[in-house]
Amino acid sequence: MPPPPLYEERFIEHDDPHFPSCHASTIVELPGGDLLAAWYAGSREMARDVAIISARLPMGARHWSRPQVIADTLDRSEGNPVLFVGPYGTVFLVYVTMQGDGWDTCQVKVKTSCDGGHAWDAERILQPAWGWMTRNKPIVLPNGDIVLPMYNERDWHSFMLISEDGGQTWLPGGEIRNEYGVIQPTLALRRDGSVITFLRRGARDPEQTLWQSLSRDGGRTWSPPERADLPNPNAAVDVVRLANGHFVLAFNSSRTERRPLSLALSTNDGRDWPAIRDLETASGEYSYPAISQGADGRIHVTYTWRRQRIRHVTVNEAWILAGGG
């Protein structure tokens, strides 16, 4: 008998007046079952007081822990954290630090934790050149390679970083470009072993849709980007492959606004999305979703709620299907 629809929502509460603006969350399930989230927060986007903060939802708990600062460079703005678990349970935090006054001045940094994100080692610079950016979680290929999606803020093209040694070293993979700009790729492994990426459109794109590209060699080369049959208002998206092989995409189902925020389900490797259900429809911005599936099969989504808070929603596939198409 199929499970009944599941929907739960909660805010990751914080009352620190130093962090009135929140954006660009990431979420991961740790080996013990806890959830760990991170995002950037400060007085406003790109302000020099912006730090990376993190909170934990212990397994079985109803409320997130009080957020803690985990990366804060003096007089520099942090951004776009990505959490993932590497081999042997090591937790990685990859993020960017502005060296000047814009996203095109960012350097990519990484920290690791050997105790589930309670304590972090010293930062190290992953990429000294300016302009490389993070946004979405990596995937692990069947051969163990980690493929981390990246993009370049200076000319709005996307590429991958690939690690063949569990995240110790990273090599650039193939680039993805078009005339409008395609950034913030998100990845999913298809049944045939190929990798599909969905990409945020550029501001000059007249048709205002998502783009997609395919790699058949583990992210090392990519097909020319093609339009996906899904709208995009120049905003971030994220996808997860479920344990049953289905895809769930979190995105703004609008061509012009960062609302509604919706979940779309595909049962055929992202070729069609017959079921779409909205998470948020009210006025305001609901954006930059991060999506993952826990070991218990539940789907977790965190996202920016009006630039003021981070909301965490838990659903299952039955809930998406109950919303129709």
Domain extents for the chain?
7-322
CA distance 252 to 323: 16
Nearest of 318, 242, 246 to residue 2 by alpha carbon: 318
- Quick one: pLDDT at residue 13? 86
Question: Is pLDDT above 70 for 201?
Answer: yes
Question: Is pLDDT above 80 for 8?
Answer: yes
- Quick one: pLDDT at residue 2? 78
The pLDDT tens digits for 9-67 are 999 988 888 899 999 999 999 999 999 999 999 999 999 999 999 999 999 999 999 99
CATH of 7-322, one of 2.120.10.10, 2.30.40.10, 3.30.70.1230, 3.30.1300.10: 2.120.10.10
The pLDDT tens digits for 123-151 are 999 989 999 999 999 999 999 999 999 99
CA distance 173 to 175: 7
Nearest of 148, 160, 150, 162 to residue 84 by alpha carbon: 148
- Quick one: pLDDT at residue 114? 97
- Quick one: pLDDT at residue 18? 87
Percent of the chain with pLDDT over 90: 95
The pLDDT tens digits for 268-277 are 999 999 999 9
* 269: alpha, beta or left? (left if phi > 0; alpha if psi -120 to 50): left
The pLDDT tens digits for 77-120 are 999 999 999 988 999 999 999 999 999 999 999 999 999 999 99
DSSP reduced 3-state for 322 = helix
pLDDT band at 230 (very low <50, low <70, confident <90, very high): very high
DSSP 30: -
Question: Is pLDDT above 80 for 324?
Answer: no
- Quick one: pLDDT at residue 315? 98
Question: Is pLDDT above 60 for 325?
Answer: no
Q: Which contacts (CB < 8 Å, 24+ apart) does range 65-73 have?
A: 66/13, 66/14, 67/12, 67/14, 67/16, 67/19, 67/41, 70/38, 70/111, 70/117, 70/120, 71/95, 71/97, 71/109, 71/111, 71/120, 71/123, 73/97
CA distance 187 to 217: 14
For β-strands 275-280 and 286-293, DSSP reports them as unpaired
